[in-house]
Amino acid sequence: MGLIIFLILGILSVFTAIAVVVEKRPVYSALYFIANLVVLSLIYLTLHSEFLAVVQVLIYAGAVMVLFLFVIMMMPPVVENRFGKMSFQKFLIMPLLLIFLFELVYVLSCGLYASAGKSPSSLSFENFGGIVSLGQLLFKRYLVPFEITSLILLVAIIGAVYLRRSEQ
Amino acid sequence: MPKEVFIIWLVAKIILILLVFIGLLLTIAFLIYAERKLIAFMQSRIGPNRVGPIGLLQPFADITKLFLKEDLTPAGADRFLFILAPCISVFTAFMAFAIIPFGRDLIIHNVRIPLQITNLNVGVLYLLAIFAINVYGIVLAGWSSNSKYSFFGGMRSCAQMISYELPLGLSMVGVLLLSHSLSLRSIVAAQSRHWFILMQFPAFIVFLISSIAETNRAPFDFPEAETELVAGYHTEYSSFKFAMFFMAEYASMITFSALAVTLFFGGWLGPSFFPPFIWFLLKVAAMLFFFIWLRATYPRLRYDKLMMFQWKVLLPFSLIWILITGAMII
């Protein structure tokens, strides 16, 4: 049962991810991206991390992509000749893709090697993926990185506001 | 879980879902009637009184009329998104109601059946995610109609709803801090001694203002401001697609009322001379009356003032209120 659900969701996520790139109309491209995010959040749900699933929809689909769509809707419905000016992209993409694939295989094999001896239950702890355990980790073990991240985000927000003002 | 228990549970759940769905549809129908009648009373008019006794069958006449009207699609519209947009609106409006608890657990043949479609441990965040998806329905409707009025309506509502999602989420934080849980069931249970509105009155005011802005109701109905935008994002919609937007608006009004009752007014809890379910209905009806009352009382604000109010008053205020609540608990 779990495998069938994963297969359906996996095929859907790959399909929507390819459609984002292949689609010619920008609004549909953005919508496929949103569909991809929703499918990913469903995969998180099957892995019992409800918090991550909901936050994925809330932050990415609900906040980030709405602003993307907001800008895209100002453009003409079909953008012609997208690859006209930056033709060097075609030559750059192959080596970059190879490096990325190599990284992916390396990380996955490392993860598989590390978890090979352990049973799944020893990897998870009680209430895995729930808000309580996540909060404990964020505010106890990873407190300093968490606070530094929030500081960087604050700097980014103030920077964005400043740049917008100085343009006027 | 033994087999018979599972079957009883499953059948009860399916019946519950059907009852909630039909109940919501009927409530929407009569809410529209009640709104027209109440506003008529407030403006010294009679209101609908032709169809059925005191106009009670008016909603069914309206539905039949909307079904039989011609379904128009404007030239140059994006057909797929034009159909998808009202579907998203209705879908999310109904989905949000799924986690509202509306009564004490029923016990049938020793099987405990909670009167709530599903109890999520991330309940409040789920609601916020659904409200975030709801924005797409209106924005896509505005864009796909290929009309200037629709486009402006869609853009306005996009900005308005995204802005007001922030204070909406922040106003719930105080309640979450007090109840130590995100699940709506536990939030109701935590109010067995006193309602959270006693300690969270400022948060309730913020919640109320943002929920009116989120549902696009008067006095914040800029997306469909008829004096400047014809009918905003649904200008080009007709027939049943228009009815779907209409349904979505009233369904989300009901959901926000139920949410306000659950978070601040103790949900289905109440003195025992009424059953819990009746208490829940009475409280939701009172909230809905308040929504309608507001529409009849206040004129529409100016759009830039609304946005200024959110970013410069409501947001800092709700952040400070979270600090105060945190200090009170510690």
Contact B128 A34 (CB under 8 A): no
- For residue B124, the chain A residue with the least C-alpha distance is A54
Q: pTM of the prediction?
A: 0.83
**Token pair in block for residue B175:** 């309640």
Q: Is the pLDDT of residue B229 over 80?
A: no
Residue A54 has its nearest CB partner, among B129, B162, B165, at B129
- Spatial contact of B203 and B321, defined as CB atoms under 8 Å apart: yes
pLDDT of A122 reads 44
- Please list, in sequence order, all residues whose beta carbon lies within 8 angstroms of the beta carbon of residue A124, skipping any fewer than 6 positions away: none
Indicate the DSSP class of residue B108.
Answer: E
| B128 min Cα distance to partner chain A (Å) | 7
Q: Is the pLDDT of residue A123 over 50?
A: no
Give the C-alpha separation, B251 to B231, whole Å.
Answer: 19
- Spatial contact of B141 and B154, defined as CB atoms under 8 Å apart: yes
Per-residue pLDDT tens for B295-322? Answer: 888 887 777 888 888 888 889 999 999 9
- Counted across chains A and B, CB pairs separated by less than 8 A come out at 59
What proportions of chain B, in percent to the nearest 5, are helix, strand and coil? 70, 0, 25
Average pLDDT, chain B: 83
Look up tokens 């209409």; give the residue.
Answer: B246
- Please list, in sequence order, all residues whose beta carbon lies within 8 angstroms of the beta carbon of residue B71, skipping any fewer than 6 positions away: B238, B239, B240, B241
- Please list, in sequence order, all residues whose beta carbon lies within 8 angstroms of the beta carbon of residue A108, skipping any fewer than 6 positions away: none
Contact A70 B128 (CB under 8 A): no
Peptide bond into B275 cis (omega under 30): no
pLDDT of B228 reads 67
Per-residue pLDDT tens for B164-215? Answer: 888 998 888 888 888 888 888 888 888 888 888 888 888 899 999 888 888 8
Percentage of chain B lying above the pLDDT 90 cut: 3
| Cβ-based interface (< 8 Å): residues of B facing A | 78, 81, 120-122, 125-126, 128-129, 131-133, 135-136, 139, 143, 151, 154-155, 158-159, 162, 165, 182
Give the C-alpha separation, B155 to B160, whole Å.
Answer: 9
Give the C-alpha separation, B263 to B318, whole Å.
Answer: 16
Interface mutation vs chain A, best among B120, B122, B168, most A CBs within 10 Å: B122
DSSP B196-243: GGGT-HHHHHHHHHHHHHHTT-TTS-GGG-HHHHTTGGGTT--HHHHH
pLDDT of A99 reads 93
Per-residue pLDDT tens for B252-284? Answer: 899 999 999 888 888 788 777 778 888 888 888
| A81 min Cα distance to partner chain B (Å) | 21
Indicate the DSSP class of residue A87.
Answer: T
Contact B128 A62 (CB under 8 A): yes
**Token pair in block for residue A111:** 């993860």
Residues of A in contact with B128 (CB under 8 A): 58, 62
Domain-by-domain residue ranges, chain B? Answer: 75-329
Give the C-alpha separation, B189 to A96, whole Å.
Answer: 55
Contact A73 B125 (CB under 8 A): no
- Give the bridge partners for B306, in sequence order: none
- What 3-state class would DSSP assign to B90? helix
- Please list, in sequence order, all residues whose beta carbon lies within 8 angstroms of the beta carbon of residue A34, skipping any fewer than 6 positions away: A61, A65, B136
Contact B132 A73 (CB under 8 A): no
- Spatial contact of B170 and B319, defined as CB atoms under 8 Å apart: yes
Give the C-alpha separation, A14 to A162, whole Å.
Answer: 39
Give the C-alpha separation, B310 to B239, whole Å.
Answer: 35
Q: Is the pLDDT of residue A143 over 80?
A: yes
Domain-by-domain residue ranges, chain A? Answer: 1-79
Residues of A in contact with B158 (CB under 8 A): 66, 70
Give the C-alpha separation, B113 to B102, whole Å.
Answer: 12
- The class that CATH gives domain A1-79 is mainly alpha
- Spatial contact of A69 and A30, defined as CB atoms under 8 Å apart: yes
Q: A4 vs A7, A10, A43, A120, B268, CA distance in Å?
A: 5, 10, 12, 20, 40
Interface mutation vs chain B, best among A33, A51, A58, most B CBs within 10 Å: A58
Per-residue pLDDT tens for B98-130? Answer: 888 887 777 777 777 777 777 777 888 888 888
What proportions of chain A, in percent to the nearest 5, are helix, strand and coil? 80, 0, 20
| Cα–Cα nearest to A2, from A45, A54, A41, A51 | A45
Residues of A in contact with B122 (CB under 8 A): 50-51, 54, 131
Taking residues A124-152, what's their average pLDDT?
A: 80
Interface mutation vs chain B, best among A70, A71, A72, A150, most B CBs within 10 Å: A70
